[in-house]
């Protein structure tokens, strides 16, 4: 497998690195049960080793970084293939740039290529079109088409996901379409037709969606939890498109003025109130120092980083709870948020949200500094980074009687004190949760501080995640403590860490009290974790095998509408 230049935010990759650093011999169920990298190539080796050619003139050239180049324009089928013919369910992604694109041209990414003329194809086309097709023996059937700008000389991230008989396609995180087909296995590929193009950062990932075997070496549960859900969500609902409505307007934000807007908030402001269709805001690379609010009357908004690398687009501000307001007083915790999401059915992909407040430079008594505050329902965060220190991610809901659900996939969250907190229902799927060192040998903070309302059976679920640290001492970080806002006795926090890898920084007694409220009265559980921080003790309630099926990602997110954003 070729090496990748860009660090993917996939929990499996992070878990593997963490395990190596910690001297683990295996990752148990996490490694085998979650997405694994089958193939990647960033062409830094300077050649096309690992690829098989079918037409065209292919080479590796310099384009800021090395990239695959197809230079022959007078051929109707220039193709390269990689991988094996037995690959079944997988996702292939690549950065793609058309150099020339005539009226009959195409620049494409291929999946499940079972021969040189049978595959699924996602293509950039002239006339500002992107099309997903099933091609059999050279005959193409359209599965979906998206109208959007396709400019020569510009990079686009194409992604195809094939699962069972279903295939889906995206460009820069925006859905192109989906459909069903009978092409069951095959390699990945790249293709041009009467066009010249470049490709980079080709990645193929595959894996099951839920663990099937417990990690080896995890001691059996010693404590049976007493708290169980009070309601039973519908079982295994069909995935719904709630978080991704039909494609509507797509606009571009660019700091250099090359897009329709130079700030993210200006693009959000342009979304009409009462919006009912998908509004996608594609953000080009840069650091956007601004406050961003998605209002409650503007649902169905999607923010997408244009490159596919979450590090390339950063939205940040530096208010803290104790920061003085121009009109008097201070901002408070909620007011410190760099990004506030009040509009439901919101999606963010391939970008970074940060609060860059410098604790060392300010002598404030209240240093909570929120990167993102959510107060809405049906939110999706895919390959998103959340950066901060205390109170990084405030996952809440519109009010104490409302449910606010969010799905975090392949994300990275860092902080020190209570850096994932609130009463929202959230699933963290294959994420890296990183505790920052506060310089203490015994207490470097708390990962969670849930305030789940007593009537809500589901708070925070961490599944297939990896808990890491920059340099915090061993046995110095708590998994969580129960937050009772204003002493609210009905806020009974609920957290489950399951099938995850816990670093040595996690305490053997990982739960602790908060503001006079005992952690033992909260709903804190673990199940089948592994790693040096996963030692089961009397202070670590474990789910039984019979209880575990009630605490899955779909059970947390289904609600009363059967919402299923899991992919």
Domain 282-558: CATH superfamily, name plus number: Single-stranded right-handed beta-helix, Pectin lyase-like (2.160.20.10)
Residues 6 or more apart from 447 whose CB is under 8 A from it? Answer: 419, 420, 433, 435, 467, 477, 478, 479, 480
Centre a 10 Å sphere on the Cβ of residue 520 and count the other Cβ atoms it contains.
Answer: 11
User: Is residue 410 among the annotated active site residues?
Assistant: no
Asked if 436 contacts 386 with a C-beta cutoff of 8 angstroms, the reply is no
Rounded Cα–Cα distance for residues 250 and 230 (Å): 42
Whether 36-206 and 282-558 share one fold: the answer is no
Dihedral Cα 311, 14, 523, 233, nearest 10 deg: 80
Rounded Cα–Cα distance for residues 431 and 335 (Å): 26
DSSP H/E element including 340: strand 339-341
- Kindly report the CA angle at 228 between 409 and 482, in degrees rounded to 5? 65
Q: What is the pTM of this model?
A: 0.63
Residues 6 or more apart from 519 whose CB is under 8 A from it? Answer: 480, 481, 482, 511, 512, 513
Rg over alpha carbons for the chain, rounded to the nearest Å, is 24
The whole-number pLDDT of residue 221 equals: 35
Successive 10-residue mean pLDDT values, the chain, 567 residues = 35 36 33 59 86 93 88 91 93 94 96 93 95 93 92 93 93 89 95 96 66 32 39 37 50 94 97 93 97 97 94 96 93 96 98 94 88 98 97 97 97 98 98 96 98 98 96 97 96 98 97 97 97 96 96 96 91
Centre a 10 Å sphere on the Cβ of residue 210 and count the other Cβ atoms it contains.
Answer: 16
Which residue in 66, 39, 156, 176 sits closest to 107, CA to CA? 156
Burial per residue of 395-422, b for 16 or more beta-carbon CB atoms within 10 angstroms, e otherwise: bbbbeeeebbbbbbbbbbbbbbbbbbbb
User: Is residue 63 among the annotated active site residues?
Assistant: no
| Candidates 391, 410, 429, 499; catalytic one | 391
Centre a 10 Å sphere on the Cβ of residue 540 and count the other Cβ atoms it contains.
Answer: 23
Q: Where are the domains of the chain?
A: 36-206, 282-558
Any idea which architecture 36-206 has in CATH?
A: Sandwich (2.60)
The whole-number pLDDT of residue 186 equals: 95
Asked if 338 contacts 372 with a C-beta cutoff of 8 angstroms, the reply is yes
In angstroms, the Cα distances linking 259 to 252, 263, 506 are 5, 10, 45
The whole-number pLDDT of residue 248 equals: 54
């Amino acid at each position: 497998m070729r090496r990748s230049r860009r660090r993917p935010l996939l929990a499996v990759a992070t878990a593997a690195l963490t395990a190596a650093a910690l001297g683990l011999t295996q990752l148990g169920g996490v490694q085998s049960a979650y997405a694994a990298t089958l193939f990647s190539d960033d062409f830094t080796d300077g050649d096309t080793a690992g690829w098989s050619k079918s037409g065209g003139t292919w080479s590796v050239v310099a384009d800021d970084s090395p990239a695959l180049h197809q230079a022959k324009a007078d051929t109707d089928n220039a193709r390269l293939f990689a991988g094996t013919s037995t690959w079944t369910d997988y996702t292939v992604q690549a950065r793609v740039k058309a150099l020339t694109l005539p009226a009959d041209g195409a620049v494409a990414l291929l999946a499940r290529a079972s021969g040189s003329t049978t595959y699924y194809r996602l293509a950039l086309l002239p006339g500002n079109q992107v099309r997903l097709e099933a091609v059999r023996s050279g005959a193409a059937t359209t599965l979906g088409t998206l109208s959007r700008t396709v400019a020569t000389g510009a990079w686009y991230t194409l992604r195809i996901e094939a699962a069972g008989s279903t295939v889906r396609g995206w460009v820069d995180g925006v859905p192109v379409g989906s459909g069903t087909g009978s092409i069951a296995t095959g390699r990945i590929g790249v293709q041009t037709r009467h066009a010249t193009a470049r490709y980079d950062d080709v990645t193929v990932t595959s894996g099951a969606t839920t663990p099937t075997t417990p990690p080896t070496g995890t001691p059996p549960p010693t404590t049976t939890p007493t708290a169980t859900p009070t309601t039973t969500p519908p079982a295994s609902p069909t995935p719904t498109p709630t978080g991704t409505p039909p494609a509507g307007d797509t606009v571009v934000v660019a700091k250099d003025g090359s897009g329709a807007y130079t700030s993210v908030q200006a693009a959000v402001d342009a979304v009409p109130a009462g919006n009912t269709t998908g509004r996608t805001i594609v953000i080009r690379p840069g650091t956007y120092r601004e406050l961003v609010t998605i209002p409650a009357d503007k649902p169905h908004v999607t923010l997408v980083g244009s490159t596919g690398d979450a590090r390339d687009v950063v939205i940040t501000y530096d208010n803290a709870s104790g920061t003085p307001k121009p009109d008097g007083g201070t901002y408070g915790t909620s007011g410190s948020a760099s990004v506030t999401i009040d509009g439901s059915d919101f999606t963010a992909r391939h970008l970074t949200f940060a609060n860059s407040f410098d604790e060392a430079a300010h002598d404030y008594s209240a240093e909570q500094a929120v990167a993102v505050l959510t107060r809405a329902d049906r939110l999706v965060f895919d390959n998103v980074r959340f950066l901060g220190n205390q109170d990084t991610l405030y996952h809440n809901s519109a009010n104490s009687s409302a449910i606010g659900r969010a799905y975090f996939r392949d994300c990275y969250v860092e902080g020190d004190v209570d850096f994932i907190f609130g009463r929202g229902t959230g699933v963290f799927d294959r994420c890296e949760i990183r505790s920052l060192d506060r310089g203490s040998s015994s207490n470097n903070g708390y990962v969670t501080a849930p305030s789940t309302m007593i009537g809500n059976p589901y708070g925070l679920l961490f599944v297939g995640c990896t808990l890491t640290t920059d340099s915090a001492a061993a046995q110095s970080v708590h998994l969580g403590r129960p937050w009772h806002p204003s002493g609210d006795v009905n806020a009974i926090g609920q957290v489950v860490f399951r099938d995850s890898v816990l670093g040595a920084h996690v305490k053997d007694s990982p739960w602790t009290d908060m503001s006079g409220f005992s952690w033992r009265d909260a709903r804190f559980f673990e199940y089948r974790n592994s790693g040096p921080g996963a030692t089961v003790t009397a202070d670590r309630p474990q789910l039984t095998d019979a209880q575990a099926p009630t605490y899955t990602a779909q059970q947390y997110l289904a609600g009363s509408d059967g919402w299923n954003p899991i992919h």
